[in-house]
Structures are given as C-alpha cells and as structure tokens.
Amino acid sequence: MRAAIYARYSTDMQSDASIEDQHRLCLRLIEGNGWREAETYSDRGLSGASHLRPAYQRLLEDARNNRVDVVVAEGLDRISRDQEHIAGFFKQMRFQGIPIVTVAEGEISELHIGLKGTMSSLFLKDLAQKTHRGLEGRVRKGKSAGGITYGYSVVRTVQSDGCVTTGERIINEDQAAIVRRIFEKFASGHSPRAIAGSLNDDGIDGPRGKGWGMSTIYGNWRRGTGILNNELYVGRLVWNRQRFIKDPSSGKRQARLNQPEDWVIEEVPDLRIVPDDLWNRVKTRQKATRSAVISEGVTRSERARRPKHLFSGLLTCGCCGGGYTIVGKAHYGCANARNKGTCDNLSTIQRDALEIRVLSGLKDQLLHPDLIAEFTRAYQEEFNRLTGTLRQDRARAERDLAKVIRQIDQIVEAIAEGMFHPSMKAKMDELETRKAQLETELRSTDDAPPVLLHPGLSELYREQVANLATALNDPATKTEASETIRSLLSQIRLVPEGDALAIELVGELAGLLALGTNKNARSGEATGRSVTLVAGVGFEPTTFRL
C-alpha cells in the first residue's frame, strides 16, 4: 500500500517542527500497518478553512492519477476544518477507493465526517469570537489591535512578571513629519498622485518599505483607509469599522462595512500627529471633491481632474449662460454659439489677456484701504482667539496635574496603612505616566516664546497682494494660490459690450471686493468699475464687475 502523508499547521507563529512531529506519528502508523511511505504533502502556515493549499491540491491530483493507495494524517482537522471541503475530500477518496486513516480517529467513515466536520467548524467560529473579544479589549485600552500604522513605532517592554507588552506604540517623529507633509500638500490643493510622485522623487519609503501610490494616500473615506482618512492621526482610535468574509469560490477575503454603532472608538490624545484645523481642511476638500464628482447620484470622474488653466470651468456666457471654452489655440469662446448655433455671442477673448485682466483688477481692488483695515481686524481677532485657547489649555493641564497628584498621594497613604492590592501598582504606573505627560505639556508652554503681533500688518497685506501674480507662476505656490482663488469664485460671466467683453465675478470673492467699493459706488464717485449686490449674500451669489 502506497501511503501518502498529509501534514499542516495554520500560522507562521507556529513552529515549523510541527510538520516533523506529524510526519513522525504518521510514519509510525504506516510501519505498524505494513505500508510504505509514498510521499509527504505539507502546507506550512496555511489555514485549514481554505482548500486553496498547494500541497492539498497536489494530493488530490495524485489521488486522481492513481499514485496513492491510502491517505494518512495526524487528525482529520489537519486535512481540513471546513465541513464542505472535508466532505468533498472524503467523496473523492471514496470514489478512487482510497481510505483515509488518521492517528487520532483511525479509519475515517461518514460518521467522522459529520461529527468532526461540525466540531472543526464550531472550533473556527469560537476561535474567531474569542480573538475578536481579545482585540476589542486591547483597543479599549488604547492599544493596537494588530499591525502598525505609518507614523508610529512598536514599543516592547518587559513587565515585572517577565511578559513582554503588546499593542504599545509611540509616535515616530520622522514618519510623522511625512504624514503632516501629506496633509499640508493635499489641503493646499495638490492631488494624491502629485503627492505620491514628490515623495518617491525624494526617495522616501512608503508604509510597506516600497514606493508611494495614489491609493495609499487617498484610500477609501468610507472604510477609513489611506493616510488622509486615518483618524488615529488626530488622536482617535477607530476599530471594527469593517469585517472580512471569505469568498467560498476563491477563498479570498472580502471586506464588509459594519454599522457605525458597532464601531469601537477610543480617544488617544498622546498619539495625535495632525492638528484639528489641518484635518478639517483636508476633510473639507475631500467633501468638495466628492460633491463635484457625484451629482444627482451620477458619478462623473472627469470632474475630479484638476483644471488645466486658472479659470477653466468657471467661465460662462453672459447672453445664454452656456460655458465659455477654449476655441482655437489660446482663445475662449461661447460653446453654444460655436457648437450649437443657439447663441449670437461670437466674441472671443485670449486666455492670457483674460487672466491678466482679472488678476490686475483683483490686485487693484484688494489694495483698497477698507480691505486692508478688514484684514488687520481679522488677523488681530484670530490672534486673540488663539492666545485665549493657549491659556485655557494651560489651565486645564494644571487642574489635571493637581488631580493626578492627589490620586497618587491617596494610593501612597493607602499602601502605608497596609491596604495594598496588586491592582494598585498598575494604577500607580498609569498615574505616574499621566503626571509625566502633563508636566511635559506645561514645560513646553513655559518654553514657548511669546507670540508678538506683527507691527506692519497693513504692509504685509500689501506685499502679499502685490505678489499675487508671482504666487500663481511659482511652482511651489501655484497650486495653493489657484485653489484659493477658484474656491472663492462660483462663476465668471463674459458679457459682450460692443466690440469688447465685460467681466463679472460671481461668488465670495466678489463680495469681498464689494467691501472696498460700496462707499464710492453709493456716493457717486467715479471708480471705473460698477458693483451690483444681488439679493444679498446667502440668497444669490454676490456679483462684482471688472
């Protein structure tokens, strides 16, 4: 009898010697029955819940080709833990006339298939539930439930009982700087593809030690994947957002979203890398991008592309309301007049001339004294708000530190009176760690230099406005400057007036310009421009005419 030995162990954490141990037991059984060993089929680090195992499939193929007379294993669960698969394996072996003999159960019959198959399936389900419970317990303590997030490093410390801690992590400052760089770049208007390209050009390794990709950065906002969607960067640990189910046909895991009420969320402020204002800017831009791409339930992926020119997609015809698009090489014209013949506006304008005209008009208007005064007022208001926040944070840290010190003193007094319990040591370690964190936080506020109000705010404002065109031409600031201007405009209307085109700006930027011209417009002074406020901000867009 040609006996085939099948041996398997489940995970990489199990010893490779397990295969040798199984082989030795099976060989003893073969010799006791007077058979001879034909071949040993072994799968290392592969779950018995999957039938897509190389050695397992090779054993089936050799059995079909009559190269095996009997199959020997340590136990039926080594061959498979899935009811369907073990039943199918038994059917195939019985069809070929090949008995299955195990060290634990002897010769396998239909009774073994029913009972052991059910027990193996229940074992897998019970194991999954216990593993899930254990991981949830670690998460609720603020620890990692597995894997390591980019921006953090694993911490291994030996406890008093000799065990090594698991799930502990600290911020990796080098990687944290890269995370903040990604957030800043995206909030400034750079695309995930451009960010990944710049990181690869700088020779920075990605999370898996390889190059960066677009999906690594953007991920999936619903599933919380990708650098930009990981809430751990703002000190919030979210776990159980999704679960994985194996596809019976392919054996591959498929992700399924869990209901929000099933999520486990824990605050871990000591792991914060990204400040709230930067996180919110990124989320705002992501939401705006999704809104542009998905309209009335229809996905228009082309809308996610970055405009080729500064005002592309914002230009409309003042006669028919249709779009003004590129005609020829460098001119804008009414698309309805050119393509459909439904508009009589045949006036065109050169792209460079349009951009220069709009930017020059913006620069002149933004230097109005009223706008300079508004900038100074807003700057001072934000400065006062941030100063008040710092004072509040320091007062909170001082209160928390006083509370922690009182709790430490109470535990020390209890121990001095003989009321010691092993749990007190863990609580004392936790309080000492918190005390050190608060003291470090207070020292950092003491060492921080005082922030002084800029003495020449109005001159600073004038300089920034004067450099508007430079910022739009500088590769380092072009993307952010373009995004900022476009975000303040909802539309640019081109209205024919004789042989020329008048330009009307519509949106928040138009309302800002109106702050500096309303007084002159109402007083009848000649400004060379006119201002129209349509129904007030909040009802219809504000319009400004250049």
Rounded to whole angstroms, the Cα distance separating 472 from 454 reads 25
The tokens describing 106, both together, are 């002897």
Residue 467: closest CA among 366, 357, 352, 355:
366
pLDDT at 534 over 50: no
Lowest mean pLDDT across 246-255, 382-391, 465-474: 465-474
The answer to which of 58-72, 127-141, 409-423, 503-517 has the lowest mean pLDDT is 503-517
Question: What tokens does 332 get?
Answer: 């804008």
| pLDDT-above-90 percentage for the chain | 18
> Residue 530: what pLDDT?
37
Phi, psi of 153 (to 5 degrees): -125, 150
At residue 36 the predicted structure's pLDDT band, cuts being 50, 70 and 90, is: very high
Mean pLDDT on 33-55? 88
Q: Which helix (H) or strand (E) holds 403?
A: helix 369-416
Phi, psi of 429 (to 5 degrees): -60, -40
Say if residues 306 and 483 touch (Cβ distance below 8 Å): no
* 56: Cβ contacts below 8 Å, ≥ 6 apart: 6, 8, 41, 43, 79, 80
The three-state secondary structure class of 237 is: strand
Mean pLDDT of 292-316: 64
Q: Are 188 and 483 in contact (CB under 8 A)?
A: yes
**pLDDT for 60-77, tens place per residue?**
999 999 999 999 999 888
pLDDT of residue 155: 78
The H helix count followed by the E strand count for the chain is 18, 21
Mean pLDDT of the region 304-318: 77
Provide the mean pLDDT of the chain.
78
Tell me: pLDDT of 112 over 90.
no
Q: Which of 365, 317, 310 is nearest to 501 (CA)?
A: 317
Longest distance between any two alpha carbons in the chain, whole Å? 115
Mean pLDDT of 177-191: 89
Per-residue model confidence (pLDDT) at position 372: 63
Beta strands in 13-171 (DSSP E): 36-44, 70-73, 100-102, 106-107, 152-154, 169-171
d(CA 374, CA 367): 11
Name which residue leads in pLDDT, 477 or 26: 26
Give the dihedral of Cα atoms 92, 97, 98, 102; nearest 10 deg: 90
Q: What mean pLDDT comes out for the span 503-532?
A: 50
DSSP state of 273: -
Cβ neighbourhood burial of 302 (10 Å; 0-12, 13-18, 19+):
exposed
Higher per-residue pLDDT: 208 or 22: 22
Q: How far apart are CA 217 and CA 195, in angstroms?
A: 8
Confidence tier at 450 by pLDDT (50, 70, 90)? low
Say what the pLDDT of residue 156 is.
74
Which residue, among 540, 514, 517, has the nearest Cα to 528 in the 3D structure? 517
- The reported pLDDT for the residue numbered 317 is 92
The two beta strands, 543-545 and 500-506, are antiparallel
pLDDT tier at 133 (50, 70, 90 boundaries)?
Answer: confident
CB 68 within 8 A of CB 1: no
Task: Please report the pLDDT score of residue 207 as a whole number.
Answer: 86
Sign of CA dihedral 498, 501, 506, 511: negative
Residue 157 and residue 172 in contact, taking contact as beta carbons nearer than 8 Å: no
Residues in the chain: 546
**CA gap 230, 149 in Å, rounded:** 9
Report CA-CA distances (Å) from 25 to 7, 8, 189: 10, 13, 65
pLDDT (0 to 100) of residue 228: 92
